[in-house]
Amino acid sequence: MDPIFSTREEMFDNLRIISENLRNGVQAGQLSSQQIRTLIDGLPRIKEPQVIEYGEKDNFCPICFVPYLVILTEEEMASAMDSPAHPVEDMGVTKLTQPWQCGHMFCRRDISKWIADGHSSCPMCRRNLLENPTSDQQETAEEAAEIAARLAEFTRANEFIRNETDPLVQLLLSSSVGHTELEEMWRNAGAAGAFQPGEAPADDRREYSGMYS
């Protein structure tokens, strides 16, 4: 066990708190409806070769913790369905690629929701999403310091979980578990406790088809 975490429950609690902070750390309502539409429409659709090129093959969305390759698989499967559970345009992976943006990568659904809620900065580093933000949309030095500490904590947790051999983590990195299922697992992991070696819930092995039925 990594020395920064005394138990697996502590690790999962830590990750869940970070996720909630990333979701709720900025007051919403700072963007106009036109700015929201422009930002969401400008999000590029990142495919697997680009994910690999960016060195993100083994990484996951910092908001929902779902691996990027799992998200891409879901997008591909949903595009072949007549009635997917979620709009295909909201699925997949994207990246903040404008010259004035930070370059962080997210699942398209979560970063679109973040922007639609009116947030004007990246949930990871708080860099502005707009090219010419208003004074109300500028970050303060105090906020930047706070988010930098949060990002450092998340990075440590990310590195730890990438090297973890716990069966739950292996499930999180497996393409046999869907996006929605993984989010639910993350929410429940701390309360339920860690799995014993070699054990994993059978119902967490459900195929993607169950998501879109």
Residue environment code for 166-187, b if the CB has 16+ CB neighbours within 10 A, otherwise e = bbbbebbbeeebbbbbbbebbe
Q: Under a CB-based contact definition with an 8 Å cutoff, are residues 60 and 72 in contact?
A: no
pLDDT tens per residue, the chain (213 residues)? 444 445 556 666 666 655 555 555 444 557 888 999 999 999 999 999 999 999 999 999 999 999 999 999 988 888 777 776 667 778 899 999 999 999 999 999 999 999 998 888 898 888 889 887 655 545 543 454 465 566 666 666 666 666 666 666 556 555 445 555 655 665 565 555 544 444 444 444 344 444 444
Q: Under a CB-based contact definition with an 8 Å cutoff, are residues 109 and 86 in contact?
A: yes
Of 11, 62, 4, residue with least CA distance to 194: 11
Global pTM exceeds 0.75: no
Pairing of strands 93-95, 105-107: antiparallel
Q: Which amino acid is at 180?
A: T
Q: Distance (Å, rounded) from C-alpha 1 to C-alpha 75? A: 34
